[in-house]
Amino acid sequence: MPREVRDENGITWICIQAFSGLDKDPEKMEVALVDGKADAFLVVCTPSGGAQSVRIELLGNWEQQTSDEELLEMIQVNSAEAK
């Protein structure tokens, strides 16, 4: 399920687990796992404005466990690293 957050610049970021269309099939879910980490998944965050999408690594229960502030901080850090 996508998660929506808005940053201080008014940009709305929609974040969704990479390969979310793989359902909950354990074999398929392995594709979305971060190499070497049992409960870390790639999450893609796409902005409403002209900024570039970013990929971040989050724990498996990120939709409920990660606050909006933490998510925005990770987006900001990964956006800066991508430049």
Q: Would you list the domain boundaries of the chain?
A: 3-82
- In angstroms, the CA 22 to CA 28 distance is 6
Q: What is the pTM of this model?
A: 0.75
**pLDDT category, 35, cuts 50, 70, 90?**
low
Q: What is the mean pLDDT of residues 41-60?
A: 87
Q: Is pLDDT of 45 > 80?
A: yes
Predicted confidence at residue 80, as pLDDT, reads 77
Does the CA dihedral 70-68-54-33 come out positive or negative? Answer: positive
- Spatial CB neighbours of 50, under 8 Å, sequence gap ≥ 6: none
Candidates 45, 82, 48, 49; CA nearest to 58 is: 45
CA dist., res. 6 & res. 36, Å (int): 31
**Overall size of the chain counted in residues:** 83
